[in-house]
Structure 1
Amino acid sequence: MRHINTSHIAMAGLVVFSLFGCATQPATLQQGPDAEITKDGLVKVDNSRLALSYVRPDVDWTQYSKLYFRPTKVTNDHPKDYRAPRVDPQTDGLNATYDLPQESLDKMAQQFSKTVQDVFNHEQPFELVTRAGPNTLVIDTAVSDIRLSAPVESSRRSYNSMGKTYTQNSGSMVLLAVLKDGQTDEVLAKAADRAIGFDQWRQNTKVFNWGDVKTVYRRWVNDFKNALMTAAADTPETN
């Protein structure tokens, strides 16, 4: 990702989370001998909005009236084949880094929890709980492989010289989710997707970038809520 040197870049992007389909075609579970099935019995979803999406067949989603979001994990972890962007000592500075400080990672994790509380309020058909149990869906989430479009603001040479940074987008990050039954701990679904920043040249500041993070989280949690409601509505009634 190119950047024009001269302030901080964020870690956010646009995540559209749904286990159950994309905007143009309905999602379907793969079938037949060529269906992709994980070791824990999850079947790959075709036409998913996410890069990867797997769901256990025949889940009765109507039984889950409670949601337990475990604290999300946000890290600077990358896959083994990741190659960090080259730092230019002349323009970026000797101390420039693309790894977010722990303070920023903690802030991102706290903001995710706050967004969950805001979206799943008293007007929603789900109760947020703080432990696993009957009729509870446990949601484990993680954010990793954060790839900034420019070095962290405080690490850059221009930080103390009132310089500015312009980038085409803010960067990207990977969001992972695992859904489990709160009583049996059975894995019901898994999803993974890379969030890519808005494709628009602009000056990157802490204000703009943190606003991106909050927007991404709100869209993710809202889409997750809508996906659960859709899945429950589409579950066949049993006599």
Structure 2
Amino acid sequence: MRTPVLKNLAIKAAVVLALVSLGACSTEPARLEQGPNAETTKDGLVKVDHSKLDLSYARPNVEWKKYTKLYFAPVKVTNDHPADYKPPRIDKRADGLNATYDLPPEALEKMSAQFQTTVKDVFNSEQPFELVDKAGANTLVIEAAVTDIRLSAPIESSRRSYSSMGRTYTENSGSMMLLAVIKDGESGEILAKAADRGQGFDQWSQNTQVFNWGDVKTVYRRWVNDFKNALMEAGAQ
């Protein structure tokens, strides 16, 4: 259900980041599958049961407590989709001929930069981890990519009613996929992988870049906080 749109606002970031962490579910602790039937990847990672993620794998017998430094590589944010993706139909009469669901380059860059800002806010001087700008000994390298972004409505500035005083309402901002790889900073060995699709809260609200950008920042912070807590728990074992 959509009505015409809103006012002139700069950049549209109509998505919510997927929440990815190595932490446990609220009911049972995350643990590696055991036994001969444990699902294992070709690079030796074992599937994690009771994960918050849609899919996560980790290497057995990792000494997590030795990692005191973190290097977050710049996050890659793209409009890429899987081969079987079917783009949503655009109502040319309501949305106009120029309506698109692809975020512009400046929005993708802003989302990438915001992730690094959130990391610095969460891993501050009060935390037991040091943020570094390159890989090295006792360092975890976190490589993340945000992809397969699926918006609930075309980009605000691309819609026919962008310059009018109308409004667009959607049940949530949309969804996106976060892919994460965690490596040893010295050897480059892959220690864990994760993939998860996240979406906005299911509540009807005005679909504008203001509300949606707030969603992005909120879920970024939740993801990084969960990751921090998971590292602290793993190091304490």
Rounded to whole Å, the distance in 1 between the matches of 2:145 and 2:56 is 15
1:81 aligned residue = 84
**Counterparts of 1:171-186 in structure 2 under 5 Å?**
171-186=174-189
Instruction: Answer yes or no: is 1:39 the counterpart of 2:42.
Output: yes
- Is the 2:70–2:139 Cα contact (8 Å) retained in structure 1? yes
Cα deviation, residue 10, structure 1: 4.3
Q: Which amino acid aligns with 2:141?
A: V
Q: After superposition, give the CA deviation of every residue in 1:139-183 in whole Å (9 maximum; x if it has no partner).
A: 001100000000001100010112210000110001111000000
Q: After superposition, give the CA deviation of every residue in 1:8-42 in whole Å (9 maximum; x if it has no partner).
A: 77433364432132111111211112111011100
Rounded to whole Å, the distance in 1 between the matches of 2:197 and 2:66 is 30
2:210 aligned residue = 207
Cα deviation, residue 225, structure 1: 0.4
Q: Percent identity?
A: 69
1:7 aligned residue = 5
Q: TM-score w.r.t. structure 1 length?
A: 0.94
Q: Which amino acid aligns with 2:191?
A: L
- Is the 2:2–2:170 Cα contact (8 Å) retained in structure 1? yes
- Is the 2:17–2:178 Cα contact (8 Å) retained in structure 1? no
2:191 aligned residue = 188
Instruction: Answer yes or no: is 1:232 the counterpart of 2:230.
Output: no
Q: Which amino acid aligns with 1:171?
A: G
Q: After superposition, give the CA deviation of every residue in 1:39-63 in whole Å (9 maximum; x if it has no partner).
A: 1100000111000000000100011
- Is the 1:15–1:219 Cα contact (8 Å) retained in structure 2? no
Cα deviation, residue 226, structure 1: 0.5
SS at match of 2:163: helix
Is there any run of 5+ residues in structure 2 with no aligned partner, and where? Answer: 7-11
1:116 aligned residue = 119
Aligned pair count reads 232
SS at match of 1:90: helix
1:21 aligned residue = 24
Q: What is the aligned counterpart of 2:97 among 94, 97, 104?
A: 94
Q: Report runs of 4+ in structure 1 exceeding 2 Å deviation.
A: 7-18
Rounded to whole Å, the distance in 2 between the matches of 1:107 and 1:13 is 14
Q: After superposition, give the CA deviation of every residue in 1:62-93 in whole Å (9 maximum; x if it has no partner).
A: 11000000000000000000000000110010
Cα deviation, residue 4, structure 1: 0.8
2:9 aligned residue = none
SS at match of 1:174: strand
Rounded to whole Å, the distance in 2 between the matches of 1:109 and 1:61 is 27
Rounded to whole Å, the distance in 2 between the matches of 1:185 and 1:5 is 50
Rounded to whole Å, the distance in 2 between the matches of 1:44 and 1:113 is 28
Rounded to whole Å, the distance in 2 between the matches of 1:134 and 1:208 is 41
- Is the 2:18–2:176 Cα contact (8 Å) retained in structure 1? no
- Is the 1:10–1:148 Cα contact (8 Å) retained in structure 2? no
Rounded to whole Å, the distance in 1 between the matches of 2:224 and 2:91 is 38
- Is the 1:12–1:195 Cα contact (8 Å) retained in structure 2? no
Rounded to whole Å, the distance in 1 between the matches of 2:3 and 2:113 is 30
- Is the 2:5–2:164 Cα contact (8 Å) retained in structure 1? no
1:237 aligned residue = none
Q: TM-score w.r.t. structure 2 length?
A: 0.95
SS at match of 1:192: strand
SS at match of 1:114: helix
Q: Which moved more, 1:10-19 or 1:62-71?
A: 10-19
Is there any run of 5+ residues in structure 1 with no aligned partner, and where? Answer: 235-239
